[in-house]
């Protein structure tokens, strides 16, 4: 891939940040968005607004997609003749399931295009700044050819040829991200209901959410199937979460979140894992 030129399709907060990063890096940038007015600020900064999807696709070999989901991708790309896709490298930075990523790669390959799947691990303000990263997978040659352009956005973590792999890593991580953050928000409701501000609790929250030690301790044990309850036990976690639940109830705070966690832990007890470590739930989850 030669030249500093790229098309960005999808101008939500993320696509806008990406197009801006390319402009800042001196790229010739063509943009297209369903709601055309979202291109206005970028055009003022020097981007070219394509009149239609076909013009956006044929303008450049590298096309970055940043959309809500792959349904949006099909809806957009089918507006152009299939010939407009031939020879394009589609850096699909739309978050989706691994299954849909593999299907999309095959759909694009049928039309002569190559998909590089991406899972962006940065909020829009981090795009174009150091310290951020994106998972990529798909054909290695295509990734290497596009690498310098992709690195304008974030660092790159290439995982392998399977187009579903970047999406899989992304979903595994984002599952932890959302459940962790919902836990944080619930706890802040509990704090607030008791007159403690989120800012007052911040140093404690940072400490509570520093899981690194646990992850390093648990990971090799999970891989070895070693779920000894020598440090903590599921039965202890049940008692502990019961206390969280009752504290929420006593504080007049919605207790559905601790109730759901308690339900999962009690499922572990029913499965005979009461005396095992919390990591035994890996096997309980996989069985169900
Ligand atoms: P948005 O959902 O806000 O924007 C998505 C874009 O998709 C818009 O340009 C929108 O067009 C377009 N779109 C949605 N549905 C359709 C459709 N049916 N037909 C045509 N166009 C459609 O997402 P973001 O910009 O926030 O994020 C883009 C991707 O990046 C997502 O996959 C997201 O998961 C991922 N991501 C986002 C992060 C973030 O913090 N924002 C962080 C990491 C990853 P229109 O303007 O016309 O509505």
CATH number at residue 225: 1.10.1040.10
Q: Classify residue 219 as exposed, middle or buried by CB count within 10 Å of its CB (0-12, 13-18, 19+).
A: exposed
Distance (angstroms) between ligand 1 centre and the Cα of 12 equals 5
| 201 and 261 assigned to the same domain | yes
- Ligand 1 contact, 68 CB (< 6 A): yes
Q: How many domains does the chain have?
A: 2
Number of the ligand 1 atom closest to the C-alpha atom of 14: 25
The residue among 119, 143, 162 that closes a domain is 162
pLDDT in tens, 45-59: 999 999 999 999 999
Kindly state if the Cβ of 166 falls inside 6 Å of ligand 1.
no
Answer yes or no: do 13 and 138 share one domain. Answer: yes
CA 75 – ligand 1 centroid, Å: 13
The ranges of the chain with pLDDT < 70 are: 2
Does 67 lie in the same domain as 93? Answer: yes
Same domain? For 17 and 33 the reply is yes
Q: Which residue has the tokens 């304008």?
A: 152
SS3 helix, strand, coil % of the chain, rounded to 5? Answer: 55, 10, 30
What is the edge-to-edge ordering of all strands in the sheet holding 89-92? Answer: 48-49, 28-32, 5-9, 62-65, 89-92, 114-120, 133-137, 155-158
Q: In the listed set 162, 196, 227, which residue is the last one of a domain according to the structure?
A: 162
Domain encompassing residue 200: 169-287
Q: Which of these, 36, 29, 28, lies nearest to 11 by C-alpha position?
A: 36
Question: How far apart are alpha carbons 287 and 69 in whole angstroms?
Answer: 30
Tokens of 51: 């009149």
Ligand 1 pocket check for 154: Cβ under 6 Å: no
Are residues 281 and 222 both part of a single domain?
Answer: yes
Cβ–Cβ under 8 Å, residues 148 and 25: no
Residue 13: CB within 6 Å of ligand 1?
yes
**Quick check: CB of 137 below 6 Å from ligand 1?**
no
Q: How far is the CA of 14 from the centre of ligand 1 (A)?
A: 7
Provide, rounded to the nearest whole percent, the portion of the chain with pLDDT above 70.
99
Which residue from 2, 67, 71, 4 is spatially nearest to 32, judged by alpha carbons? 67
Cα separation values, 24 from 41, 50, 127, 284, Å: 14, 19, 11, 49
Q: Could you tell me if the CB of 134 is within 6 A of ligand 1?
A: no
Degrees to nearest 5, angle at CA 159 with 153 and 160: 120
Helices (H), strands (E): how many in the chain?
Answer: 12, 8
Residues 6+ apart with CB under 8 A from 134: 93, 118, 119, 120, 121, 122, 150, 153, 154, 155, 156, 157, 166
CA nearest ligand 1 atom 44, residue? 120
Domain stop point among 138, 162, 186: 162
Centre of ligand 1 to C-alpha 220, Å, is 37
User: How far is the centre of ligand 1, averaged over its atoms, from the C-alpha of 158 (Å)?
Assistant: 23
Q: What is the largest CA-CA distance in the chain?
A: 65
Q: Separation of 93 CA from ligand 1 center, angstroms?
A: 10
């Amino acid at each position: 891939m030669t030249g500093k030129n790229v098309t960005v399709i999808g101008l939500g907060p993320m696509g806008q940040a990406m197009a801006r990063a390319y402009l800042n890096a001196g790229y010739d940038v063509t943009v297209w968005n369903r709601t055309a007015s979202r291109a206005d600020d970028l055009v003022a900064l020097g981007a070219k607004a394509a009149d239609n999807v076909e013009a956006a696709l044929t303008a450049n070999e590298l096309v970055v997609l940043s959309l809500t989901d792959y349904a949006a991708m099909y809806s957009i790309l089918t507006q152009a003749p299939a010939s407009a896709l031939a020879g394009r490298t589609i850096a699909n930075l739309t978050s989706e399931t691994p299954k849909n990523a593999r299907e999309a790669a095959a759909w694009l390959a049928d039309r002569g295009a190559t998909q590089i799947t991406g899972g962006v691990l940065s909020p829009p303000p981090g795009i174009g700044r150091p310290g951020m990263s994106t998972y990529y997978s798909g054909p290695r040659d295509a990734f290497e050819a596009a690498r310098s352009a992709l690195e304008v956005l974030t660092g790159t973590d290439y995982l392998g040829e399977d187009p579903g792999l970047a999406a899989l890593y992304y979903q595994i991580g984002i599952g932890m991200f959302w459940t962790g953050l919902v836990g944080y928000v619930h706890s802040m409701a509990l704090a607030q209901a008791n007159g403690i501000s989120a800012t007052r609790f911040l140093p404690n929250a940072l400490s509570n959410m520093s899981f690194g030690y646990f992850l390093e301790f648990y990971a090799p044990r999970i891989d070895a199937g070693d779920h000894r309850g020598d440090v903590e036990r599921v039965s202890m976690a049940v008692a502990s979460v019961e206390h969280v639940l009752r504290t929420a109830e006593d504080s007049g705070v919605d207790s559905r979140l601790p109730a759901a966690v308690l339900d999962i832990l009690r499922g572990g007890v029913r499965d005979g894992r009461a005396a095992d470590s919390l990591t035994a739930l890996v096997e309980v989850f996989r069985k169900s």
